């Protein structure tokens, strides 16, 4: 979360080239994988988060928030909410 509109737009365009920390980049790598290919998440992915500085609580929070957003977006999509 940021109040920096330029950073926010850069992340939306392509978070890989945005000016973010290594920890934020590791988190977004994990979030993308968990969203697009959840069955492929492995111990190495969690280890990468630990190397980036996240503890088990932080990893759980990243996982829960990602899962919740994925869930609620699918519910909304399934009900046609927000579509024009």
Question: CA–CA distance from 69 to each of 34, 44, 50 (Å)?
Answer: 11, 23, 23
Please determine, for residue 45, whether its predicted confidence score (pLDDT) is greater than 70.
yes
Domain 5-79, CATH among 1.20.1290.10, 3.40.190.10, 1.10.3720.10, 1.10.260.40: 1.20.1290.10
* Domain residue spans of the chain: 5-79
Please determine, for residue 20, whether its predicted confidence score (pLDDT) is greater than 70.
yes
Please determine, for residue 33, whether its predicted confidence score (pLDDT) is greater than 90.
yes
- Residues counted in the chain: 84
pLDDT value at position 1? Answer: 67
When pLDDT is cut at 50, 70 and 90, the band that residue 84 belongs to is low
- Which tops the pLDDT comparison, 52 or 5? 52
Decide if 2 contacts 19 (C-beta within 8 A). Answer: no
Q: How far is CA 13 from the centre of its chain?
A: 15
pTM score: 0.86
């Amino acid at each position: 979360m940021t109040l920096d509109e330029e950073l926010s737009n850069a992340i939306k365009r392509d978070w890989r080239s945005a000016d973010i920390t290594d920890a934020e980049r590791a988190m977004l790598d994990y979030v993308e994988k968990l969203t697009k290919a959840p069955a492929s998440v492995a111990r190495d992915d969690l280890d990468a988060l630990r190397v980036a500085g996240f503890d088990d609580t932080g990893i759980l929070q990243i996982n829960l928030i990602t899962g919740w957003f994925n869930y609620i977006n699918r519910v909304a999509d399934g009900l046609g909410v927000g579509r024009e």
